[in-house]
């Protein structure tokens, strides 16, 4: 069958470097760090005392008090970012066939703060099981797309993909395929996460996954740098409106980019460590190129997973060199996690948005905080170090990988 074309017609972002799409791009363009000392709880006894929290976010700006109490922060972030994306798309909610509008969302963890606080309250009580009646619906990861659909009356496919840090990229690929096959006209997709909590920080610290650069949090996320010592935890949400091309054209929608394809693979190697030869990462990029009908030399830019971990960064760059060969040195490679930190299940969404904005503005955001060359990394690669680079970007790739060996890759193309 002839697959339908899929385009991006709206975007929304709630990130540690900007609380809307415009502010997010400004943060990316200028190389802004979102990392700072944690304000949500006392970090005195924690190994890592900083994270990429949202700045100036107040639930009261978006929800009444009663509604906010029913929503974990990850679900709030989903509603805020998706509302911006829906408004940005200009879609008429009174006219669109809501049976053909779905919501496919990504969250790696879901309501971690809700779970943490309910358990603490129970442990501090007298043993009587007094739990908030909203405990379960606040916690479950699928409540985010559920609330989006309830708010707007969208009655198409509705679920959450959970594949750790690849979750929202998985959601975008599922959304792409539902529209390609003609099952939907429009899908709200993306991801959100709110893991900057005592449990989140403590858990990742126990794994030795987080940077402990407490003396300089703003420089702690340093992908590709020889002194990198772990990732910086972030939070927020990103949303994209994926729409069938003819449907978008018929209503005169602004089109940001075409979604050309997506790839998936598994490392089948280790719970948390990447395969040392990057076999799964090689395969996911090859799968994505094949799915999109592109050759390696068609790709202009890659927003890497680039978490700032000693093993992961090297494995990914080796995989890029293997897939793209001599063309790898012509690709603008970057890691926007150097600015936003790692948003876990929301990473794929906000990084896809960064890739699309790079195409729109012909500007590749920098990989900030680089100072010491890693001799394990091929020096011929252009890692967009410390300063944004102007160039035409016609095709952009976005990589996301998750604990458990989950790999996802999405390709976007500029129209016209």
Q: Which residues are part of the catalytic machinery?
A: 165
Angle at 351 between CA 110 and CA 270, to 5 degrees: 60
Burial of residue 134, with CB atoms counted within 10 A of its CB: 0-12 exposed, 13-18 middle, 19 or more buried: middle
User: Distance between CA atoms of 125 and 131, rounded to whole angstroms?
Assistant: 11
108, 345 in Cβ contact below 8 A?
yes
407, 264 in Cβ contact below 8 A?
yes
Q: For the chain, what is the radius of gyration of the CA atoms?
A: 20
347, 337 in Cβ contact below 8 A?
yes
- What pairing do the DSSP bridges indicate for beta strands 395-402 and 406-413? antiparallel
User: Distance between CA atoms of 95 and 134, rounded to whole angstroms?
Assistant: 33
DSSP 190: E
DSSP string, 274-288: PPTT-HHHHHHHHHH
Q: In angstroms, what CA-CA distances link 135 with 106, 119, 235? A: 20, 10, 21
User: Distance between CA atoms of 48 and 38, rounded to whole angstroms?
Assistant: 9
- The CB density around residue 239, as the number of other CB atoms within 10 Å, is 35
- The CB density around residue 157, as the number of other CB atoms within 10 Å, is 18
Angle at 199 between CA 197 and CA 205, to 5 degrees: 100
User: Distance between CA atoms of 132 and 102, rounded to whole angstroms?
Assistant: 30
For residue 106, give every residue at least 6 positions away whose Cβ sits within 8 Å of its Cβ, in sequence order, or none.
160, 161, 162, 163, 167, 168, 169, 170, 171, 172, 189, 190, 191, 345, 346, 348, 349
User: Distance between CA atoms of 286 and 197, rounded to whole angstroms?
Assistant: 37
Tokens 């700032």 locate to 308
Task: Take residue 121 and report the two structure tokens written for it.
Answer: 């309250």
């Amino acid at each position: 069958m002839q697959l339908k074309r899929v385009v991006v017609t709206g975007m929304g972002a709630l990130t540690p470097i900007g609380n809307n799409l415009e502010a997010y791009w400004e943060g990316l363009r200028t190389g802004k760090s979102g990392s700072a000392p944690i304000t949500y709880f006392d970090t005195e006894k924690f190994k890592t005392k900083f994270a990429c929290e949202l700045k100036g976010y107040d639930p009261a700006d978006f929800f009444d008090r009663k509604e906010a109490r029913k929503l974990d922060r990850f679900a709030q972030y989903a509603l805020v970012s998706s509302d911006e994306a829906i408004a940005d798309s200009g879609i008429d909610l009174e006219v669109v066939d809501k049976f053909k509008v779905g919501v496919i969302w990504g969250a790696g963890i879901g309501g971690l703060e809700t779970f943490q606080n309910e358990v603490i309250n129970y442990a501090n009580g007298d043993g009587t099981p007094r739990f908030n009646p909203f405990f379960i619906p606040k916690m479950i990861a699928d409540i985010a797309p559920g609330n989006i659909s309830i708010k707007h009356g969208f009655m198409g496919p509705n679920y959450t993909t959970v594949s750790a840090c690849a979750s929202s990229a998985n959601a975008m690929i599922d959304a792409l395929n539902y529209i390609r096959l003609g099952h939907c006209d429009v899908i709200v997709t993306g991801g959100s996460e709110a893991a900057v909590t005592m449990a989140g920080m403590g858990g990742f610290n126990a794994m030795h996954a987080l940077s402990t650069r407490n003396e300089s949090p703003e420089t702690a996320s340093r992908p590709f740098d020889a002194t990198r010592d772990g990732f910086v935890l972030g939070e927020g949400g990103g949303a994209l409106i994926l729409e069938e091309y003819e449907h978008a054209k018929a209503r005169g929608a602004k089109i940001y980019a075409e979604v050309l394809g997506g790839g998936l693979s598994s490392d089948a190697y280790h719970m948390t460590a990447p395969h040392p030869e990057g076999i799964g990462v090689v395969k996911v990029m090859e799968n994505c190129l094949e799915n999109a009908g592109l050759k390696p030399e068609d790709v202009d830019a890659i927003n890497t997973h680039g978490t700032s971990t000693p093993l992961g960064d090297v494995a990914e760059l080796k995989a890029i060199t293997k897939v793209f060969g001599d063309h790898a040195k012509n690709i603008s490679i970057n890691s926007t996690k150097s600015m936003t930190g790692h948003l876990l299940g929301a990473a794929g969404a906000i990084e896809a948005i960064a890739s699309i904005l790079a195409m729109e503005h012909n500007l590749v955001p920098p990989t900030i905080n680089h100072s010491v060359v890693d001799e394990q990394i091929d020096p011929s690669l252009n890692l967009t170090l410390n300063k944004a680079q102007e160039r035409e970007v016609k095709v952009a790739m976005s990589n996301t990988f998750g604990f458990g060996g989950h790999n996802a890759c999405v390709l976007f193309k500029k129209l016209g």
